[in-house]
Structure 1
């Protein structure tokens, strides 16, 4: 029964983001800054919006300044609901 439910899940429904690591001071947690280019609602000019995400880094592989890919996961703490998938560049 559990095997069927695992195979019927639709892949790719989790949000992914690519950003730069800004802090690694916490244990097994990194802070990733994500910059999105979106049109302004009124003036339609493209503007940059940045947001910080707290992501789980189990092995502490990411360093400050690394470009990383994170994926949405279940809530792990009050602020942390993202998980490190891979380090793209050092």
Structure 2
């Protein structure tokens, strides 16, 4: 057997910050995806909101961020902000 260490593959998502500054070290990130309607076949937008941990309180509303899955940090937080891809103008 090899003593090779494996790192678990964690989910990463790219989304935009909806609210910032309302909660300490927490931001709400909206993830938008396209899903095909089961009957009509048209692609429709679907949104999911996740609360993510922002350790340095550096995210602002409208920023594009990369979030990564992590252990449960609170009742609703299971995601952590890994990096800010684009600051809002």
Could you say whether these structures have the same fold, taking a TM-score greater than 0.5 normalized by the shorter chain as the test?
yes
* Cα displacement (A) at 1:8: 2.4
Matched, 1:80 2:84: no
Which of 7, 11, 18 is the matching residue for 1:9?
7
Unaligned runs of 5+ in 1: none
Q: What's 2:40 paired with? A: 43
Q: What's 2:14 paired with? A: 18
Q: What's 2:86 paired with? A: 89
- TM-score of the pair, normalised by structure 1: 0.86
CA RMSD between the two structures: 1.4
How many correspondences in the alignment? 84
Runs of 4+ with >6 A deviation: none
Structure with more of its chain in helix, by fraction: 1
Q: What secondary structure is seen at the aligned counterpart in 2 of 1:63? A: coil
Q: What secondary structure is seen at the aligned counterpart in 1 of 2:50? A: strand
Unaligned runs of 5+ in 2: none
- TM-score of the pair, normalised by structure 2: 0.86
